[in-house]
């Protein structure tokens, strides 16, 4: 079953959140409705990066890689500029 890795950004907190899910649209709604404890204080969140992979095990490996590098550095490695947001 396909999964997505994603990085969210909160302008109000200037923070990132890294995750993986099978349904990004519903997961984003949960983040922005305050249903996720770790993102409750940063509403609204916006998706600034995502990629789809073949299954959850691959998604979890990518999530771990991003978290160990740090979302800001990972995005910089990809050439992503925060000036766009």
Mean pLDDT of 3-15: 97
Q: How confident is the model at residue 84 (pLDDT cuts 50, 70, 90)?
A: low
Q: How many CA atoms lie within 13 A of 3 on its CB side?
A: 14
pTM: 0.93
CA distance 66 to 17: 10
CA distance 28 to 32: 6
* The pLDDT of residue 82 is above 70: yes
Contact predicate 55/3, CB 8 Å:
yes
Tokens representing 53?
A: 């992979």
- What domains are defined for the chain? 3-84 (3.40.1440.10)
pLDDT digits (tens, 9 = 90+) for 34-66: 999 999 999 999 999 999 999 999 999 999 999
């Amino acid at each position: 079953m396909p999964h997505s890795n994603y990085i969210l950004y909160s302008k109000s907190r200037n923070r990132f959140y890294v995750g993986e899910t099978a349904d990004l649209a519903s997961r984003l709604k949960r983040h922005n409705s305050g249903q996720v404890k770790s993102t409750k204080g940063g509403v609204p969140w916006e998706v600034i990066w995502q990629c789809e992979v073949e299954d959850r095990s691959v998604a979890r490996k990518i999530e771990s890689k991003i978290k160990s590098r740090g979302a800001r550095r990972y995005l910089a490695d990809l050439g992503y500029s925060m000036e766009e947001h």
